[in-house]
Amino acid sequence: MIKLLLFAGVLVGVYYVFFAKKKSLSGPKNDVSMDEAMIPCATCGTYVQAKDTLMSTGKYYCSSECMEKKQ
């Protein structure tokens, strides 16, 4: 029984370290769920991952061509 408790404690410790590392990798300002969110291009409406979008004057674009068209 004590061995089981120790094993559970190790698992929790490993999980905590892994979680903390993952958080620090993405940076304090970046939310992981935000990176994975799909955002529509302001010009053509194509949904692209937030991390792949280009932002200009508060709007998101899928490519530099769309950003230049700006409707």
Quick check: 48 binds Zn ion (CB under 5 A)?
A: no
Q: Determine which residue in the list 39, 53, 60, 66 makes contact with Zn ion, applying CB under 5 A.
A: 66
Contact partners, residue 56, CB within 8 Å, separation at least 6: 67, 70
Quick check: 44 binds Zn ion (CB under 5 A)?
A: yes
Q: Determine which residue in the list 43, 53, 60, 67 makes contact with Zn ion, applying CB under 5 A.
A: 43
Token pair listed for 58: 């508060």
Q: Determine which residue in the list 39, 41, 53, 67 makes contact with Zn ion, applying CB under 5 A.
A: 41
Residue 39 or 41 having the CB closest to Zn ion? 41
List the helix and strand counts (H, then E) for the chain: 3, 4
Closest CA to 61 of 35, 39, 46, 42: 42
Residues in contact with Zn ion by CB under 5 A are 41, 43-44, 62, 66
